[in-house]
Amino acid sequence: MLIRAVYTLLLALAAPLLLFGLYNNKSNKPKFSKRWKEHFGVTPELKSDQKPIWIHAVSVGESIAAIPLIKALKEQAPNQPILVTTTTSTGAEQISKLGSLVEHRYMPIDFSFAVKSFLKVTKPRQMLVIETELWPNTLNEVNKFGIPIIIVNARLSKKSRDNYAKFRPIFNIIEPCLTQVLCQHKSDAEHFRSLGVPNSKLKVTGSIKFDIQISEQTLSLGKQLRQAIGERPVWIAASTHKGEDEIIIAAHKYLLSKNPNALLILVPRHPERFDAVFNLCINMNLSTIRRTQNIPPLESNVYLGDTMGEMLIFMAAADLCFMGGSLIGSKVGGHNIIEPIALGLPVLIGPSYYNFKEIVDEQIKLNNVSVISQNSLLENLDTFANNYKGNKVAPSSIKKGAIDSSVTQILLNI
DSSP structure class, residue 230: -
Q: Is 322 helix (H, G, I), strand (E, B) or coil?
A: strand
> What is the spatial order of strands in the sheet that 347-349 belongs to?
288-290, 302-304, 263-268, 234-240, 320-323, 347-349, 369-371
Task: Check if the beta carbon of residue 349 is closer than 8 Å to that of residue 337.
Answer: yes
167 vs 174: CA distance, rounded Å: 11
Task: Check if the beta carbon of residue 250 is closer than 8 Å to that of residue 264.
Answer: no
160 vs 166: CA distance, rounded Å: 10
Three-state SS for 366-407 is: CCCEEECCHHHHHHHHHHHHHHCCCCCCCCCCCCCCCCCHHH
Q: Which residues pair with 127 in a beta bridge?
A: 54, 149
267 vs 277: CA distance, rounded Å: 9
Using a 10 angstrom Cβ sphere, with 0-12 exposed, 13-18 middle and 19 or more buried, the burial of residue 112 is middle
73 vs 309: CA distance, rounded Å: 22
Position 284: which residue type? M
Q: Is 343 helix (H, G, I), strand (E, B) or coil?
A: coil
Please indicate whether residue 379 is annotated as part of the active site. Answer: no
Q: Is 182 helix (H, G, I), strand (E, B) or coil?
A: strand
Using DSSP, how many helices (H) and how many strands (E) does the chain show? Answer: 16, 14
308 vs 270: CA distance, rounded Å: 9
Q: Is 24 helix (H, G, I), strand (E, B) or coil?
A: coil
> What is the spatial order of strands in the sheet that 53-56 belongs to?
103-106, 82-86, 53-56, 126-130, 149-154, 180-183, 202-204
Using a 10 angstrom Cβ sphere, with 0-12 exposed, 13-18 middle and 19 or more buried, the burial of residue 349 is buried
Of the residues 38, 62, 93, 141, which is catalytic? 62
Catalytic sites, residue numbers: 62
